[in-house]
Amino acid sequence: MKSQKTLGIQFVTRPTKSNSSLLQLFLRLTVNGRRVEFSLKRPIPKKLWNPVKGSAKGSSEESSQLNESLDRIRAFVSSKYHELLVKGIPFTAEDLKAAVLGIEEEAYSLRELIEYHQEVMSDTLKPGTLKNYETSKKYLLTYLEKSLKKKDISFQMVDYKFIMGFESFLRRHKPTNHQRPLQHNGILKHMERFKKILNLAVKMDLLEKNPFDKYQFKYKRFDRDYLEDEELERLEEKVFSNQRLNLVRDLFVFSCYTGLAYIDVSTLSRQSLVKSQGEYWINTERTKTNTPIKIPVLPKAMELINKYKDHPRAVSNDLLLPVLSNQKLNSYLKEIADLCEIDKNLSFHVARHTFATTVTLKNGVPMETVSKLLGHNKISTTQIYARVVEVKVKEDMGKLKERLSMKGKKM
């Protein structure tokens, strides 16, 4: 059988951090132009090494012993290389490395690595996050089948070229089930999940380094939709003939005055409403980050809690409010936006943005306080709403100019 493989065996060194007179010895393997290297865990005297020849110099006993050891390693690598050739199965430099280190039985395919990640992270990640990883898995396997014409590959074959090919595939991908094409930030989310899967392989010492180390994640910043004062007021005052639309509107408005995401509203128990120092508060925990939050209940939110306190579905489930599925809510919100003549892509998460902007920041609530109310772990997350602060500053400075102008006229 004619072999199309080429093999390169090279010994290279790196300086040791603890002793400048010693070098750390590495073995570099190259198969068909693709290379890997790993430490031989053997420090050698710097004065003995010839970097050009990749061997010990001189004829001293120490140099001779070192060169004999390198010859044995070279012969062992060659034997493993020919064993893989005889099997007739495609292999890479990583596969050869695994064979040399005696770990070929532990090698995972890309599909197996993804599934192992899902298994070990199932108790750590939220169901929604696991579902997102499943979606990324489907895209990866589709890329393998359609672009590379393979059902599966060794994950060691994943290099920077593979990563860029996957990104290009996602950008060209045209959904066939009426979904919208992936946008830039959505594509980067899939790339981010892929990187985390490969990070697991690095932690398991199955990969020496993550090929994503060279990849740059450049998310596009965009303005978040939120309702202006007039739009929120129009929504609150609208009376719908359909009671379900009234409920959906009320749930949305409740989020506008509490900043809670859908998942947190849907699990809000009656015990989470507490009275402290004469005021009502909502004590809960953000499902997404497990961050405890304590939110003062504004009058509009309390009005809605009282409105639905005897609702059968809320009572039977021990919840503050009766809820629908997120998918149904967002579907009805599109209809509500049309009926209220709100020309925005209304989704339940817009309510959280409205709380951050129109209800709090535009009314002078400090960003640090808003960050705490939203349950953000970093204030930089809250700073995406900084443009609202700029609007507020502009309004306040306009009023100041007016006052100064009036003062000047009086003088």
Residue 73 forms part of a structural domain: yes
Least confident of 137-151, 262-276, 285-299, 370-384: 370-384
Please check the confidence at residue 35 and state whether its pLDDT lies above 50.
Answer: yes
Residue 183 forms part of a structural domain: yes
Residue 352 forms part of a structural domain: yes
Please check the confidence at residue 5 and state whether its pLDDT lies above 90.
Answer: no
Please check the confidence at residue 3 and state whether its pLDDT lies above 50.
Answer: no
Regarding whether 201 and 59 lie in a shared domain, the answer is no
Q: Give me the residue label for tokens 């994950």.
A: 155
Domain that holds residue 315: 229-396
Over residues 301-317, mean pLDDT? 94
**Who wins on pLDDT, 13 or 384?**
13
| pLDDT value of residue 1 | 40
Domain boundary among 56, 89, 105: 105
**Who wins on pLDDT, 346 or 395?**
346
Regarding whether 262 and 161 lie in a shared domain, the answer is no
In the chain, pLDDT over 90 holds for what percent of residues? 48
The pLDDT tens digits for 63-108 are 999 999 999 999 999 999 998 888 777 788 888 888 888 754 445 6
Of the candidates 216, 195, 49, the residue with the CA atom closest to the CA atom of residue 117: 195
Rounded Cα gap, residues 211 and 241, in angstroms: 57
Domain boundary among 37, 72, 105: 105
Going by pLDDT thresholds of 50, 70 and 90, the confidence category of residue 205 is: confident
Regarding whether 114 and 203 lie in a shared domain, the answer is yes
Residue 159 forms part of a structural domain: yes
How many other CB atoms are there within 10 angstroms of residue 277's CB atom?
A: 5
Going by pLDDT thresholds of 50, 70 and 90, the confidence category of residue 221 is: low
Over residues 357-385, mean pLDDT? 83
Regarding whether 271 and 374 lie in a shared domain, the answer is yes
Regarding whether 79 and 20 lie in a shared domain, the answer is yes
Structure-block tokens of residue 147: 């672009």
Structure-block tokens of residue 83: 């064993």
Q: pTM of the prediction?
A: 0.57
Going by pLDDT thresholds of 50, 70 and 90, the confidence category of residue 312 is: very high
Regarding whether 373 and 234 lie in a shared domain, the answer is yes
Over residues 136-148, mean pLDDT? 93
Residue 410 forms part of a structural domain: no
| pLDDT value of residue 104 | 43
Rounded Cα gap, residues 89 and 35, in angstroms: 18
Domain boundary among 85, 105, 125: 105
118, 124, 130, 353, 371 from 289: Cα distances, Å? 19, 12, 15, 17, 13
Give me the number of domains the chain comprises. Answer: 3
CATH number, residue 249? 1.10.443.10
Residue 58 forms part of a structural domain: yes
Helix (H, G, I), strand (E, B) or coil at 85: helix
Residue 205 forms part of a structural domain: yes
Please check the confidence at residue 387 and state whether its pLDDT lies above 70.
Answer: no
| pLDDT value of residue 375 | 86
Regarding whether 372 and 318 lie in a shared domain, the answer is yes
Q: Which stretch, 105-109, 182-186, 286-290, 393-397, has highest mean pLDDT?
A: 182-186
